[in-house]
Amino acid sequence: MPNPLSILNPALEVLATEGRVLPATGQAVEDQATPDIEEVYDRATGGKAEVRSIWETRRRLYHPVRSIPRIERHLFRYFLDGSVRTYFIGTVIEHQRSSPVQLAQVGAAAIRREDDGQLHIVRVERKLVLLLQKQNLSDVLWSRLEAAVRQVPNLEVRDTSQDDGYLEAIRVQEGRSRGAHKANWAMREVEVEIAKSLERREDEWLVLDGGLGNEYLDWDGPPLIGVAKSFRRDTLFNLGSGPRARQLNLYTLLAGLQEGHRTCVFPRWPGESREGKVVFWYVRIRPQRGLDYPLMGVVKVEMPNPSREPVDSDLVDLISGALVAERSVTPHGRDSRWHAHLYPIYIAERVIKNHFYSPAVLKAAIRWPEVGIQV
């Protein structure tokens, strides 16, 4: 069987020829993006942690919603999820300078659901990304590396010393951690590209896994929502005025949220001129009984709102009721966030992960050229 990662050989040869390489012990070590990337990015893009207004036509804190199954109203047709795996494969050394070398598998999958419930893969995008710190390497090495990578489809090189949406938010400095977060940003770019490319009617909603971030502030395509299983926990809600004023932290707000209910809609505040361009609310899709703490069984829903006008409460009820009806999957033991999974999103996640090389294959397939190797 041919080596599936032999496409990396020209790039690895450049690194081994132009510098010295210290291979990772055991060929490759998986790097995780910590802390929880979704929660961190939610804090960064949400602006102020204080919410002072309700952004919908009916102004009350909690709303009961009726479960709306697909056979009654097929609202959600498309589902999109991305995934990334990042591996540390060695260190390249030039004179007194060095950079970690990481390899990421980045991708996303979109699926469509038919009226009979069958799920079909609409689009899968996958690529490999080499991650290095350009500032710690010579211009000659970097230009030769870029030239080698340009010859290979679905392979690119990224500079982890350059900030992006995630790195600006979390201010991570350590090289390998920056690489893992840079790979997450590359995954997010793939998700946005797929979301824009899907041909949908106005009544065919798309559900994305995770929060929307600032990438969707000016969304002008068919309707979509982001459904986040992990989200910021430092939000304070100062609602009302005078003797009726209420101050709640997120835990208090969600502790009072019953199964099959949603909160009111709040504006995200990334700045005065953009307040309300993305709105959010919380839906409890599972009862608190038997769960560990109030945030379990709750999803955060985000939706573009380019008009910045208060959102129609009936529309929010419809979206929330359809979400409650999607909760059937319980992948115990496979994901610690089972309590907030939606079945089609879970399937999309499995689709893209099944298109990745397994860790065993990847670790066995990476072969550094012997030239330039330092043991």
Instruction: Report residue 366's pLDDT band, with 50, 70 and 90 as the boundaries.
Output: confident
pLDDT top residue among 214 and 47: 214
Average pLDDT over residues 67-82: 95
Percentage of residues of the chain with pLDDT beyond 70: 87
Report the Cα 56 to chain-centroid distance in Å: 26
Instruction: Report residue 293's pLDDT band, with 50, 70 and 90 as the boundaries.
Output: low
- Render pLDDT for 312-341 as a digit per residue (tens, 0 to 9): 999 999 999 999 998 766 555 555 555 566
pLDDT of 267 reads 94
- Render pLDDT for 333-365 as a digit per residue (tens, 0 to 9): 555 555 566 889 989 999 999 999 988 888 888
Give the domain ranges of the chain. 6-365
- Render pLDDT for 54-67 as a digit per residue (tens, 0 to 9): 999 998 999 999 99
Q: Tell me the DSSP string of 22-44.
A: EEPTTS-EEE--TTTHHHHHHHH
Average pLDDT over residues 141-148: 96
Cα 202 to Cα 222: distance, rounded to the nearest angstrom: 5
CA dist list (Å): 145 to 18, 95, 128, 374: 10, 18, 14, 20
pLDDT of 36 reads 66
Residue 157, burial from CB neighbour count under 10 angstroms (0-12, 13-18, 19+):
middle
| pLDDT over threshold 60, residue 33 | no
Cα 347 to Cα 39: distance, rounded to the nearest angstrom: 22
Cα 79 to Cα 231: distance, rounded to the nearest angstrom: 19
Find, among 105, 167, 134, the residue nearest to 353 by Cα. 105
pLDDT of 193 reads 96
| pLDDT over threshold 60, residue 78 | yes
Average pLDDT over residues 204-230: 92
Angle between helix 9-18 and 139-150 (nearest 10): 170
Calculate the average pLDDT of the chain. 87
Cα 28 to Cα 89: distance, rounded to the nearest angstrom: 5
